[in-house]
Amino acid sequence: MASELCASRLLAPYFGTSSFVWTNIIGVIMIALSTGYLIGGNLADRRPRLDILLKLLLVACVFLFLLPFVVFTVVQWLSSLMQNLNSSFSFIFLGSLLAIALLFAPPIVILGMTSPFLIRLVAQTDHVGVSAGRIFGLSTIGSVVGTFLPVLVFIPALGTGKTIMLFSAALFVVTALGFTAKKSALLSVAAVVPFLFPIPEARQTPGKIYSTESAYQYIEVFDRGSFRYLVYNDAAGFQTVANKHSPFTGLNYYYDYYSLLPFIFEGRPKNALILGLGGGIIANQLRYFHPEIVVDGLEIDPKVIQIARNYFSLSPDVSVFNQDARIFVTLSKKKYDIVIIDAYTQQIYIPFHLTTVEFFTKLKDRLSEQGIVAMNVSAPREDSPLLQSISKTLRSVFAHVYLFRIPMSTDNIVLVSDRGLDFGLLGRAAGTELQGLARLSQPLFRETEPDSQYEPLTDDRAPIEHMVDWEILKAGIKANKR
C-alpha cells in the first residue's frame, strides 16, 4: 500500500493523478500481486527455503530504494519513445502505464510472493487455516500502516522520495533480521540511511524558482519572460498566471474578465468570495481595479497560500481561509455580492462536489439579494457534456444562466443569478483601465438554455473526471488521425 500511494505521488509531476493514471496504478499493481502469488506458491512448493525468499526481498528493497533516483530518467526515455504520437492522452495513459510497469511491477511481484511462501514454510498439515489466517491478518495490519502513515505523516514531512526510501529501509530491516541477530544496528541503519541521499528534482522545469510537495499535490512556481506561473503535478495547465509588470495577464486568459463582474452588479458590490484562491491573481485584480470591495479567498492547500503570499504578492487585504470550499459554504453565515468559483485539481478537473445541485443550493444561501455567481468551465465545444451538465445543474437552482466564451480559448465563464443581468452596465467601465475589455466582452455574453438531454449533477452522481477524461481521449484520437 505504501508503494502504491507513493507511486501516484512519484509519477504525478509527469503524468498527473487523473483517473487514467490511477487506473494504471491499481491495475498494474493488482496484476503484479497476482503474478507474485502464483510464482511464490510454485517456488515455495519446489524449494521451500526461507533464505530464497529473503534474498528476493532484498532485491525488492534495492529496487524500491532506487526508484526516486531513476524515475526522471525512465520518464524521459519513455517520452522520447512516444514523441511521434502527437497526443497528450497517449502520453498520459500509455506513458504512465509503461512507467508503472517498469518501475513498480518488479518489486510488487516479489512482495506478492511473500504470503504464499510464508504459508508454505510455517503451515503444518492440520493447521493450514490458522497459519494462513495469522499471515494474512498481519499483512493486512501492515497494509493499514502503509496506507495511513505515508499520507498523514511521512509524505507531508519528508516528501515522496524519502518516504519510499524509508519504507524500503524498513522492509530491509525485516528481511535482514532473518540473516542476523544484530537487530539494533539494523534499526539504526534503516532510520538513518534514507536521509543520507539527496533526492533529485522531480522535474527539470526551465525558469523554476520554487517547488515543493504538499499533502495534495506537487507544486512548482516558474518564470517565463514577464510572466510567473503556478502549476500542479504534471503541468497540464496553469493554476495561476501573473504578469510581473501589469495587473492584466494580457494573454487572453479568463482571469482578467472576472474584474468586469462589479460593473454588471446592480448597484455597488461590497464584497466578493473566491473559491479556489490559487496564486491569488483574481483576488489581486479585484483589489486593484475595485479597492472598495472586500475580498475573501478560500484555498484548501496551506502551502499554496504561502506561495501566493511569497511568490505572487497576494494582497494583505485579502482574507484567506484554509478550508474546503464546500465546507465553508455550508458553515458560513456571511452573504456575498459576487462569488467566483475557480477551484481546480490538475488544472482540468473541477472538484465534483462543487458542481452539484446540493452545492449550488447551499451557495445560493450565501448570496445577497442581487448576488452573482461566476465560474470557469474549460470545454473545447459549447456542446461539451461537461459544460452542458454544469449549465443544466445551475439552471435547476438559479433563474438565469449566461455563457461567455473567451475568444480563441477553451475557457467559458458561466454566470448565474436569480435576477436578470444587464450587460449594458459594462458601459460603466468607460474611462477605466477595463474599458477595452468591457467593450470586447459586452456582445459575447448571452443567456443559454441547456440541452435537455443532460441531467443535473448531484452528490450521488457527478462524473466530472469521466467527462473530462473522455474529452481528452477524443482530442487525442483526433490528433492521432491528423
Indicate which residues carry an active-site annotation.
342
Q: Which residues of 437-458 are buried (b: 16+ CB within 10 A; e: fewer)?
A: bbeebbeebeebebeeebebbe
Say how far apart CA 167 and CA 384 lie, in whole Å.
44
Say how far apart CA 121 and CA 136 lie, in whole Å.
14
Which run of H or E residues covers position 141? helix 128-149
Say how far apart CA 323 and CA 345 lie, in whole Å.
15
Say how far apart CA 223 and CA 205 lie, in whole Å.
10
Name, in order, each residue with C-beta under 8 angstroms of 247's C-beta and a sequence gap of 6 or more. 284, 285, 288, 289, 433
Name, in order, each residue with C-beta under 8 angstroms of 171's C-beta and a sequence gap of 6 or more. 57, 60, 61, 64
Q: Which amino acid is at 465?
A: E
Write out the three cell numbers for 136: 494474512
The answer to whether 374 touches 340, Cβ cutoff 8 Å, is: yes
The answer to whether 253 touches 241, Cβ cutoff 8 Å, is: yes
Say how far apart CA 189 and CA 226 lie, in whole Å.
48
- For residue 230, give Cα distances in angstroms to 59, 185, 233, 377: 39, 44, 10, 19
Write out the three cell numbers for 318: 485579502
Q: At what angle do helices 183-192 and 160-176 cross, to 10 degrees?
A: 170
Q: What does the longest C-alpha to C-alpha distance in the chain come to? A: 91
Instruction: State how beta strands 240-243 and 227-232 pair.
Output: antiparallel
Task: Write the DSSP assignment of 202-238 as a string of letters.
Answer: S---TTEEEEEE-SS-EEEEEEETTEEEEEETT-SS-
- For residue 331, give Cα distances in angstroms to 324, 325, 334, 393: 11, 10, 9, 22
Phi/psi for 231 (5° steps) reads: -130, 155
End-to-end CA distance of the chain: 41
